[in-house]
Amino acid sequence: MLRNAIIPILLVLQAVMLPTPAKANDYLQCVPFARELSGVQIYGDAHSWWDKAAGVYQRGAIPAEGAVLSLASHGAMRLGHVAVVHKIIDKRNILISHANWSPINGRRGQIERRVAAKDVSQNND
C-alpha cells in the first residue's frame, strides 16, 4: 500500500506560527498536543489521523512547516504518533514539536520543541 511507502503529512496552512499550548512541565499525549499546536480538529488515536483527514485536510508526502506529521502504527508504537513540523532543514531533515515521545529524566509525556527528525530511508520516502 502506498501509505506505508511514504511518511504521510497532513498539510495545515494555518499553523505556520507555532503557538505555545502548554507549560513545559505539563504531561501530554501526542494527539492533544498536535491538535492544539496545529489547529487540526481530528480526534482519536494518532494512527487514525491520516484516514480521518481525507476530504477534510490536504494530505501529501512532502513535509511543510506547520503540517502534522502522521506516523502509522508500527511495532511497539501501536497507536502511531503525530508531531507538528516546525522547520524544513533539507530534503531529509526537519525540526518537529511533539509530546510523549522520549522519556526525559525518566518521565514520559513531556513536550519536545524544535527537535531534529531525519528520514533514514534508502529512497528518502
pLDDT, tens digit, 9 for 90 and up, residues 29-48 = 999 999 999 999 999 999 99
List the grid coordinates of 91: 530534503
- Domain map (residue ranges) of the chain: 2-118
Instruction: Select from 3.30.70.360, 3.90.1720.10, 3.30.2320.20, 3.30.70.1560 the CATH code of 2-118.
Output: 3.90.1720.10
Cα end-to-end distance, the chain, whole Å: 13
Query: How many other CB atoms are there within 10 angstroms of residue 74's CB atom?
Result: 11
The mean per-residue pLDDT over the stretch 18-22 comes to: 45
Task: Encode pLDDT of 50-89 as tens digits.
Answer: 999 999 999 998 899 999 999 999 898 899 999 999 999 9
Q: Are 80 and 46 in contact (CB under 8 A)?
A: yes
pLDDT attached to residue 8: 52
The better pLDDT of the pair 80, 123 is held by 80
Exposure string for 34-46, b = 16+ CB within 10 A, e = fewer:
bbbbbebebeebb
